[in-house]
Amino acid sequence: MTLPPVLILGGRSDIGLACAHAFAAKGHPVQLAARNAAALQPEATDLGLRHAVPVSTHEFDVLDTAGHAAFLDALPAAPGIVVCAIGMMGAQEASEIDFAAAAQVMRSNFEAPAAILGLVANRMEALGSGTIVGISSVAGDRGRATNYVYGSAKAGFTAFLSGLRNRLAQTGVHVVTVKPGFVATRMTAGMDLPARLTAQPEELGAAVVTAVIRKRNVIYVRPVWALVMAIIRTIPEPVFKRLKL
């Protein structure tokens, strides 16, 4: 039995690659999509050699929303699973003084991913099957002084995914929301992260595959994050606003 291809949007990111490895290890062909796709060839070769699956690379710029449909049309095969691992942290200070910078963060984490996944959803709905995985963030669970621009975009993305899941519930298309918590990636290198709360990329990949197989709706990669965020969400606003978070 041949498994359906997995399309990874944001195929250069550590999280995207970890998902690619985890699905390839199960035998899924992989389509890696990112800007400057030619430079992804070593990653594609590595994936193909390790897991003996076909791997292709595809030029993709999520902010070029006008090109989304053509991008999907040009894929060698319709993907059965689409993972959107696109994200951009940005610098909160820059976002506070320069709306262009803030807009870039909002568009990269919410507007543009929502645009491409909306198109994917319609195509999967027509076929009556498929899985969409959106990598969102715990930062979207509550706005905090230190990263609310990024957090608000992720909150929008989380709500978009939950709405999409709701809409597609009876169609055979499933939507998984992943809130990774801390992950040891290039984006977090050099930050002083608590070891117990920090997942390795491989751990994230394995968790995503399991969530897809078991048709889970929302997952935190390390279960302790569900508890941490439940507490953070229940702190009353008058108290919360005085906390330095």
Are 4 and 28 within 8 A, CB to CB?
A: yes
Residue 212 CB neighbours (<10 A) = 23
Torsion sign over Cα 103, 109, 113, 114: negative
Transcribe 169-193 into DSSP letters: TTTTEEEEEEE--EE-SGGGTTS--
CB of 193 to another protein, least distance (A): 14
Residue closer to another protein by CB (options 146, 210) is 210
Q: Answer yes or no: 150 catalytic.
A: yes
Cα–Cα distance, 87 to 108 (Å, whole number): 6
Which residue type, as a one-letter code, is found at position 210?
Answer: T
* Residue 43 interacting with another protein (CB under 8 A): yes
Establish if 39 lies at the interface with another protein (CB under 8 A). no
51 is an interface residue for another protein by CB under 8 A: yes
Rounded to whole angstroms, the Cα distance separating 15 from 21 reads: 10
Of 52 and 66, CB closest to another protein: 52
Q: How far is the CB of 61 from another protein (least distance, A)?
A: 22
Q: Which stretch binds another protein (CB under 8 A): 43-51, 82-90, 125-133, 136-144?
A: 43-51
Of 23, 150, 182, 220, catalytic: 150
Residue 219: helix, strand or coil by DSSP? Answer: strand
- In whole angstroms, give the CA distance from residue 70 to residue 88: 24
State the nearest-atom distance from the C-beta of 50 to another protein, in Å: 5
Contact positions with another protein (CB under 8 A) in 151-210: 186, 189
Indicate the DSSP class of residue 196. Answer: G
| Contact call for residue 52 and another protein (CB under 8 A) | yes
Regarding 49 and contact with another protein (CB under 8 A), the answer is yes
Given its phi and psi angles, is residue 154 left (phi above 0), alpha (psi -120 to 50 degrees) or beta? alpha
In 3D, which of 239, 231, 176, 170 has the Cα closest to residue 204? 176
Minimum distance, C-beta of residue 221 to another protein, in the bound complex (Å): 20
Interaction residues for another protein, span 100-129 (CB under 8 A): none
| Residue 45 binds another protein (CB under 8 A) | yes
Are 68 and 116 in contact by the 8 Å Cβ rule? The answer is yes
Nearer to another protein, 25 or 101 (CB): 25
For the bound state, the minimum distance from the C-beta of residue 14 to another protein, rounded and expressed in Å, comes to 10
Instruction: Decide: is 46 part of the binding site for another protein (CB under 8 A).
Output: yes
Does the protein bind another protein through residue 26 (CB under 8 A)? no
Instruction: Give whole-number Cα distances, 37 to 15, 58, 170, in Å.
Output: 17, 6, 36
CB under 8 A: which stretch of 50-58, 91-99, 173-181, 220-228 binds another protein?
Answer: 50-58
Q: Which residues bind another protein (CB under 8 A)?
A: 42-43, 45-46, 49-52, 186, 189
* Residues designated catalytic: 150
